[in-house]
Structure 1
Amino acid sequence: MELNDSVETLSGVGPKRLDGLHHLGIFTIEDLLSHFPLRYSDLATKLPSQVGSGEKVTFKGIVSSEPVLARYGYRKTRINFRLLIEHENVAVTFFNQPWVQDKIHLGEEVAVYGTYEQRRQTLMGIRILAKDSMDELQATYPASKEIPQKTLKVLIEQALGKYKTLLVDLIPESIRIRYQLLSRVEMMFGMHVPKDGIQAQAARRTASFEEFFLFQMRIQLLKMTDQANHGRSIKFDNNKLKKFIQTLPFELTNAQKKVVNEIVADLRRPKHMNRLLQGDVGSGKTVVAALAMYAAVSAGMQAALMAPTEILAQQHAKTLSQFFDVKDVRIELLTGAMKAGPRRQILTDLENGEIDILIGTHALIQTDIAFHNLGLAVIDEQHRFGVKQRAKLREIGMNPDILAMTATPIPRTLAITAYGEMDVSVIDQLPAGRRPIKTEWLRNNEFDNAIKFIQKQLESGAQAYVVTPLIEESETLDVQNAHAVYEDLMQYFAPKYQVGLLHGRLSNQEKDDVMAAFKQNEFQVLVATTVIEVGVDVPNSSVMLILDADRFGLAQLHQLRGRVGRGQRQSYTFLISDPKTQFGIERMEAMVQTTNGFVLAQKDLELRGAGDVLGNRQSGLPEFKVGDPVNDLIMMETAQQEAIEMVNTLNWADQSENLQLSQFLSETMERYRNFD
C-alpha cells in the first residue's frame, strides 16, 4: 500500500464514482486525504439564551406540539412544530423537507440544527441530527452532484483507517516542536474528524504550514539547482564602472547605490543571477539597469534589454544612448517593424560581437537571433512577458544572468510566492526634488471643473493625458470611450490647443508617431487608453485625468498616475468616478490617501486577490489548498526561512540524502503541478 494508490482501491469506488472523484481532482489516496473541509458546523447543543440572532446552532429538546405539514405553490412544503428546551419553547420551521415529518414525534427528544432568530424565538431548520453526530464538529467539503458530502466523508474515513500508518511527517521534528505543530497523522484526523474547535484550528494551522513549507522547499531547491547549473562569473572592471557613475548628470540615491551593489555582487559570483528589481514609478530603475549592463560590457560580454512595447524599447534606446559614450559602447535597437536589410546587418554584427547592448521587444527572442557572448539579460516590466518568453531569452543567450524589472510594486506576499525563486532588490526611495503627485477623486458631475483646470495648465505651457477604459462606444458598459472624448475635447480646446488620440488598435508605427508628436508638444492633450500605462516618459505633462476610474485596478491606476510628475512641474491626477460598490469606493479612497505603490499593491491584493493583480497566466501563482498567503503572510515567511536554512544545511555530497530529498519532492509536490 502507498499513498499514491488510486482511490479505486477503496471499497465502494466503481467506475462511475471514480469518474466523479476525478472531476473533483481526486486521483490518489493522498489527493483524497488532502481534500480538506471548507468549514465546520458546530453541532454541540446550546440553550437559546447562549445564542445570538442569525447564528447556526444545534438545539436539543422535547417535541411539544404535533408537526404540521402544509403544502403551497408548486412542490413547496412547510413543517412547523415546537421544541421545549428546558423551560423555553422554540418554534421550528423546515421548508421543502417533507420527509422530516417522519422523524418528529410528540413527546420524544430530538436534536435540530438550524439558524436561530432570537427576536421571534424561531429556528429555521436545516437538518435533524442523528444521535451519534451530536456534540461534535461536522466538516463541509467541496463536493459535487456525483460525489456528495456523505460519500466523501465515508471514503475519507475509510482511507484514514486503512492508510494512517503511512502518514509520515513531512515537516522535520525540530520545526514541529519549535512552532507547536501536530504530527501528520494528528493533523489529518484533526482536519477531517475534529473532536472540537481547538483541535480543528490546530490541524488547519499545521496543514497550512506544511503546505507553505513544501512549496518553499521546492522553490529553494529550484533556485539552488539553477544557480549551480547555469552560473558563471562576470569579472567586470570596477574602476571603469566607478568612472561611469561619476559621469552621470545626477547623484544616485542611497537606495539605487544599495541595489547596484547587490546586482554587481551577483554578477561577480560564479552563480547564476536571477534577480527582480522592483521600484515605484520614477524611482530610477533604468539607470540601475544601465550600470549593470555597463558592468557586463566592461567584462567583454554583451547585454540585452527586452521591453514589452516598441514605444518603451525606443525610449530605453534613447535614454541609454544619452548615458553611454558611443565610442565605448555600441547600442542597437531591434524591433519587429524593422526592415529586412538593417535587421540582417544588426544580426550579423550581434553574432560577431560588434554590438555591446541590444534593446528590443519580442524580436529579441526570435529563432534567428544569435549573440556572440551574452552575459546579462534585462527584462523590463517582466510581468508582461510569459514564463516561456523569459525562458526563451535565456536559451538563446547561453543562460545569461537575468535582471527582471517591474514598476508594479509587489507586496511581500507575492514576492515570496510568485517570485520566490528570485532574489529581490527594492528601490524604495524617489530621486531628490521629485514632487509628490496630488490626487483628487471627483464625481462625474465635476468633469467640467477638471477640464477647466487642464485648460489653465495648458495656458502655463504644460500638457495633459485623458484616459478612458474603452476605445469605442459599448452597448453593455456605460463608460466613456476614447473616440467620443477625443471629438468632444477637440471642439472644446480648438483652435488654440491640439488633441491627439492613442489606443491599442493603431499600428505600431501610428502609435510611435502619436507619442513622438506628443513628446514634441505638437499635441497638448492626449486622449488614450491604457496603452500609455507603462514606461512612456513625457516630462512636460502635468495632468492625468482618468475617466471611469473605478473600472481600473489599483496597480493600473498607480501606473497611469506615474506618467505625470516626471518633470519640474507640480503634477495632478484626477479620478473621475461614481462607483456603485463599496469595492470601487475603497479603491478611489486608497488612491487619494497614498502615492506609495507598495501600500497600494498590498491593498490591491487584499481587494482583488493575487490572480487578478498579476494575472494567473503570467504569474504562475500556486493554488494553495489550505494556506492563505495573503492573510497568513507571517507563516509563509517563517516557512520560507526554515526551507532556506534546511536547503543550505543539506549535505550535498551525501548521495543517500540527495536520493531521499528527491523522493521527498516527487512524492509531495505533485499538488503544485500547475506552478511549473
Structure 2
Amino acid sequence: MPLTLTDKVSALSGVGPKREQALQDLGIFTIDDLLSYYPYRYDDLGERLPSETLDGEKVTFKGVISTPAVVRRYGKRSQTAIGLLVDRENVRVTFFNQPWIAKNLEVGQEVAVYGTYNAAKAALTAIKLVPASIDGLAPIYPVSKAIKAKTIAELVEQAWGQLRGSLPNLVPTALREKYRLLDKNQQVEYSHFPKDKVESKAGRRSAAFEEFFLFQMRLQLIKQADQRFLGEALNYDKKQVADFIQSLPFQLTGAQQRVVDEILADQAAPQHMNRLLQGDVGSGKTVVAAIAMYAAVTAGAQGAIMAPTEILAQQHAKGLAKLFESAGIHLRVELLTSGLKAAQRRQILEDLESGDIDIVVGTHALVQDGVYFHHLGVAVIDEQHRFGVKQRAKLREGGVNPDILAMTATPIPRTLAITAYGEMEVSIIDELPAGRKPIITSQLSNRQYDQAIDLLRAELAKGAQAYVVTPLIEESETLDVQNVTAVYQELQEALPDYTVGLLHGRLPKEDKDVLMAGFANNDVQVLVATTVIEVGVDVPNASIMLILDADRFGLAQLHQLRGRVGRGDRQSYTVLLADPKTDYGKERLAALVQTTDGFELAQRDLELRGSGDILGTKQSGMPDFKVGDPVKDLTMLTIAQEEALKLVRQPDWEQEVDNQALVDKLSTTMAAYRHFD
C-alpha cells in the first residue's frame, strides 16, 4: 500500500519498536509529524578555498591528505592531526576525541572535511568527514541520545521519496499568494533538502507561517466555541453599581473605568465571558473585580474569587468585606480554604449552596469536589497563570456557565498575549492610581551590604517598615547565597530597637497568620522572608525592600517582589544586592533599575530569555513552536492571528474546496467546536 501522511512512522523501513519509541519521544508519531520535523540549522557543506574563508567560519575543505595521521592522547582525551593540501595550500586539520578516525585517513587520499577555520594558523578544527560528492546544505535536526540526526535525515528522505509532490496545502491559496509563501511541497523540499541558503530561508519562512496559522486557527475555533457556549445575561442593577463606584474612597482611573465598562458589557450579554485582566502591580485590579462581583450579586447571583495562596485569599476576603462595609453595602463575604475546621467548612458549603453567601473567596479549595454554588454569576481567578485549564473548567460545571474574569499582575507582552491567551478577550489597566510615587530602585554589590542596612535603618527611623528578601530557607553547600535564617539572626543583632520577623513557606499556617497580622499592624517592623511574599501581601507602611542575591531571581519575579512596597503615601525604595556573573544577569538587573513599567520589563525579559519560560512552565499555555519564534517573528505571528480571525468569520469557510486540507488538519478542534453547539 502507498504511504500516507497519517501512517505511523513504523510504516517506514528500518523503524522497529525501539526506534519508533525514540521518535515518539521527539513528538514524531506519524509520517506527517516526520515531514513537519524541520531542521533547526544547516551545515554549509559547499567546499571553499582557505583564501575565500573568514576566520572562525564553518567551512568544508576538500583536498589531499599530505601527512600521516598522528594521534596524541591526554588521559581520556585525544587529538588526531593530519595535513590537508587544499589547492596548493597546506592546512593543519585536527579531530578532537575521535582517535578511531586515524584508520580512515591515508596519505594521498582525497577527503572533504567540515569544521571551523582559524585563518591566522591556517588550521581547521574538524567536526566531521563528509562524502566528497556532497555539495550544499546539510540539515541538522534536534535529536536525543536514543536517535541520531543522520537517522532522522534518512527517514525523512525515505518518506519524501514516496510522497514527493502529493502533499495537500494547509494554508489557503489566497494567503500563500498574498504573502509570497511556498506551496506545501516546495516548503517541505526547501526545508529538508535546500540547495542553498535562499531555499532554506524560504522553506523556513513558509513553515513558520503555517505553524503560526494552524495554532491561531485552533485558538479562534476554541474562542468561537466558548462564545457559542451560552452563559447568562446578568440583569444587574445599574444604579446600585454606579452608587457603589461613587462611594469608593478614591476615584477610578481612566483605565479602570474603561475596563469596568468592558466587563459589565460582557456580564450583561448572553454569551459566556472569558476575559483576561492585565494590570501592573498596584494598578487596582482588585476593585475592578469587586465591582464585577457586586454587579452579579445585584442580579441575584453569586461571585467567587480564587487566589493562588491562603495569604492572598485571606487578604482578599478582608479587603472586600471592608470595601463593601465602608460603602454601606451589606454583603456576606466568606473565606473557603483547606485550612478551615471541618464544622466551619461544612457550614460554609451549606450556605454557599443555599445562596446565603454572596461572595466567596478561596484557594484551590473552591474547585474541589463537594463545592456547589446556588447561582454562580462570575468567577474571578487571581494570578491566572497559576491555575490550569481543568481548574478553570471546574468553575463552569453545575448547570450555569459563569462568566470568567482571569487577572494577572504579571505583565504579559503582546507576543504572549497573542499566543498563550489568544482565545480570551484582553483588558489592560495601564495606568497607576493618582498619587502613587514611582519606586526608586538601585543596585549595590554584596560588599555594600552595610550601606544597604544603613538605608533600611534610615527608613525605619521615619516610622516606616521594611522587607528583606532572600532566595533560600537553609544554607546550601552548592549555592553561594544568603539564607533566610542567618539573615534573620543577623538583623536581630543589627537592629536591636526594632522587631524582626521571619517568614518562609515551611512555617505552620498559624504562625504565618500571626506574623503577617503583626507586620500589618506594625508590631513587626522588619520582615525577613523568602518569595512567599511575592504575590498579594499589602502593607502600605512598608517603604523599603532589600533583595539579597537578586541575580538569583527572574526579572518578572523581581518586579513582583518590588510591588510589595510603594503601596502607600511614602516614597519607597528597592535595593538589589548582587554581583551578577553573566551578561544576562547584569542586563536583567539594569532593566529593573531603569524602569518600573511592568510591560516594558516583560518585553525586555522576553527578548533576553526567549519565549520558553516567561510565565512559568506548564501553566502558561505557551505553545512549543518548532519553527517559528514568537519573539523574533512577532509580525508574522500577528498577521497569522489576523488572517485566522478573518477566515473563521467567513460564512461556510469549512465548505470551501481550497480549505478542505486545513479542515481535515483541524478536525479534532472542529469536533470540539461543533460539540458546543
Scaled to the shorter chain, the TM-score interval is: over 0.9
Listed one character per residue, the Cα deviations across residues 228-250 of structure 1 (whole Å, up to 9, x for unaligned) are 12422222222222222111121
Task: Give 1:70-81 correspondences, 5 Å limit.
Answer: 70=71, 72=73, 76=78, 78-81=80-83
| Larger deviation, residues 197-206 vs 591-600 | 591-600
Please give the root-mean-square deviation of Cα atoms over the aligned residues, in Å: 2.6
Task: Give 1:645-664 correspondences, 5 Å limit.
Answer: 645-651=646-652, 663-664=664-665
What is the TM-score of this pair, normalised by structure 1?
A: 0.93
Q: Residues 175, 657 of structure 1: CA spacing in aligned structure 2 closer, same or farther, 3 A cutoff?
A: closer
Shift of 1:144: 4.8
Q: Residues 366, 72 of structure 1: CA spacing in aligned structure 2 closer, same or farther, 3 A cutoff?
A: closer
1:286 aligns with 2:286: yes
For the residue of structure 1 that corresponds to 2:613, the secondary structure is helix
Question: Which residue is 2:601 aligned to?
Answer: 600
Q: Does the CA-based 8 Å contact 1:350-1:372 persist in structure 2?
A: yes
For the residue of structure 2 that corresponds to 1:57, the secondary structure is strand
Q: Does the CA-based 8 Å contact 1:275-1:425 persist in structure 2?
A: yes
Shift of 1:508: 1.9
Q: Residues 143, 572 of structure 1: CA spacing in aligned structure 2 closer, same or farther, 3 A cutoff?
A: closer
Q: Residues 104, 56 of structure 1: CA spacing in aligned structure 2 closer, same or farther, 3 A cutoff?
A: farther
For the residue of structure 2 that corresponds to 1:351, the secondary structure is helix
For the residue of structure 2 that corresponds to 1:372, the secondary structure is coil
Distance between the aligned counterparts of 1:56 and 1:653, measured in 2? Answer: 48
Q: Does the CA-based 8 Å contact 2:68-2:105 persist in structure 1?
A: no
Distance between the aligned counterparts of 1:414 and 1:130, measured in 2? Answer: 44
Instruction: Specify the code of the residue in structure 2 equivalent to 1:474.
Output: S
1:524 aligns with 2:525: yes
Q: Residues 585, 215 of structure 1: CA spacing in aligned structure 2 closer, same or farther, 3 A cutoff?
A: same
Q: Residues 183, 528 of structure 1: CA spacing in aligned structure 2 closer, same or farther, 3 A cutoff?
A: same
Distance between the aligned counterparts of 2:420 and 2:528, measured in 1? Answer: 34
Question: Which residue is 2:675 aligned to?
Answer: none
Q: Does the CA-based 8 Å contact 1:79-1:98 persist in structure 2?
A: no
Question: Which residue is 1:406 aligned to?
Answer: 408
Distance between the aligned counterparts of 1:660 and 1:398, measured in 2? Answer: 37
For the residue of structure 2 that corresponds to 1:346, the secondary structure is helix
Question: Which residue is 1:579 aligned to?
Answer: 580
Listed one character per residue, the Cα deviations across residues 494-523 of structure 1 (whole Å, up to 9, x for unaligned) are 2x2111111111122221111111111101
Q: Residues 528, 112 of structure 1: CA spacing in aligned structure 2 closer, same or farther, 3 A cutoff?
A: closer
Q: Residues 456, 578 of structure 1: CA spacing in aligned structure 2 closer, same or farther, 3 A cutoff?
A: same
| Larger deviation, residues 4-13 vs 582-591 | 4-13
Question: Which residue is 2:430 aligned to?
Answer: 428
Instruction: Specify the code of the residue in structure 1 equivalent to 2:626.
Output: K
Question: Which residue is 2:501 aligned to?
Answer: 500
Shift of 1:415: 1.2
Shift of 1:570: 0.4
Shift of 1:185: 0.4
For the residue of structure 1 that corresponds to 2:565, the secondary structure is coil
Distance between the aligned counterparts of 1:337 and 1:397, measured in 2? Answer: 28
| Larger deviation, residues 518-527 vs 52-61 | 52-61
For the residue of structure 1 that corresponds to 2:190, the secondary structure is helix
Question: Which residue is 2:45 aligned to?
Answer: 43
Q: Residues 270, 669 of structure 1: CA spacing in aligned structure 2 closer, same or farther, 3 A cutoff?
A: closer
| Larger deviation, residues 3-12 vs 631-640 | 3-12
Question: Which residue is 1:564 aligned to?
Answer: 565
Instruction: Specify the code of the residue in structure 1 equivalent to 2:348.
Output: I
1:452 aligns with 2:454: yes
Shift of 1:530: 0.9
Shift of 1:357: 1.3
Q: Does the CA-based 8 Å contact 2:171-2:662 persist in structure 1?
A: no
Instruction: Specify the code of the residue in structure 2 equivalent to 1:340.
Output: A
Q: Does the CA-based 8 Å contact 2:654-2:663 persist in structure 1?
A: no
Gaps of 5+ in 2: 672-677
Shift of 1:123: 2.3
Shift of 1:74: 7.0
Q: Does the CA-based 8 Å contact 1:651-1:657 persist in structure 2?
A: no
- Pick from 385, 388, 396: which aligns with 1:386? 388
Distance between the aligned counterparts of 2:144 and 2:612, measured in 1? Answer: 25
Aligned residues: 665
Listed one character per residue, the Cα deviations across residues 304-356 of structure 1 (whole Å, up to 9, x for unaligned) are 11112222122212222233246543322223233333433332322222222
Q: Residues 653, 141 of structure 1: CA spacing in aligned structure 2 closer, same or farther, 3 A cutoff?
A: closer
Q: Does the CA-based 8 Å contact 2:12-2:159 persist in structure 1?
A: yes
Shift of 1:627: 1.3
Instruction: Specify the code of the residue in structure 1 equivalent to 2:93.
Output: V
Q: Residues 100, 651 of structure 1: CA spacing in aligned structure 2 closer, same or farther, 3 A cutoff?
A: same
Listed one character per residue, the Cα deviations across residues 137-183 of structure 1 (whole Å, up to 9, x for unaligned) are 11112245654333322221121121234410001111111111110
Question: Which residue is 1:674 aligned to?
Answer: none
Instruction: Specify the code of the residue in structure 1 equivalent to 2:384.
Output: Q
Shift of 1:254: 1.0
Listed one character per residue, the Cα deviations across residues 639-667 of structure 1 (whole Å, up to 9, x for unaligned) are 11111111111428979999986533137
Q: Residues 311, 170 of structure 1: CA spacing in aligned structure 2 closer, same or farther, 3 A cutoff?
A: same
For the residue of structure 1 that corresponds to 2:614, the secondary structure is helix
What is the TM-score of this pair, normalised by structure 2?
A: 0.92
Q: Residues 526, 55 of structure 1: CA spacing in aligned structure 2 closer, same or farther, 3 A cutoff?
A: same
For the residue of structure 2 that corresponds to 1:59, the secondary structure is strand
Q: Does the CA-based 8 Å contact 2:232-2:400 persist in structure 1?
A: no
Distance between the aligned counterparts of 2:151 and 2:670, measured in 1? Answer: 27
Q: Residues 249, 627 of structure 1: CA spacing in aligned structure 2 closer, same or farther, 3 A cutoff?
A: same
Q: Does the CA-based 8 Å contact 1:69-1:98 persist in structure 2?
A: no
1:211 aligns with 2:211: yes
Q: Residues 668, 309 of structure 1: CA spacing in aligned structure 2 closer, same or farther, 3 A cutoff?
A: closer
Task: Give 1:113-512 correspondences, 5 Å limit.
Answer: 113-134=114-135, 136-144=136-144, 147-324=147-324, 325=327, 327-396=329-398, 398-494=400-496, 496-512=497-513
Q: Residues 98, 658 of structure 1: CA spacing in aligned structure 2 closer, same or farther, 3 A cutoff?
A: closer
Distance between the aligned counterparts of 1:468 and 1:641, measured in 2? Answer: 44
For the residue of structure 1 that corresponds to 2:171, the secondary structure is coil
For the residue of structure 1 that corresponds to 2:138, the secondary structure is strand
Q: Does the CA-based 8 Å contact 1:473-1:481 persist in structure 2?
A: yes
For the residue of structure 2 that corresponds to 1:614, the secondary structure is coil
Q: Does the CA-based 8 Å contact 1:263-1:292 persist in structure 2?
A: yes
Question: Which residue is 1:673 aligned to?
Answer: none
Distance between the aligned counterparts of 1:220 and 1:5, measured in 2? Answer: 28
Shift of 1:42: 1.2
Shift of 1:110: 4.7
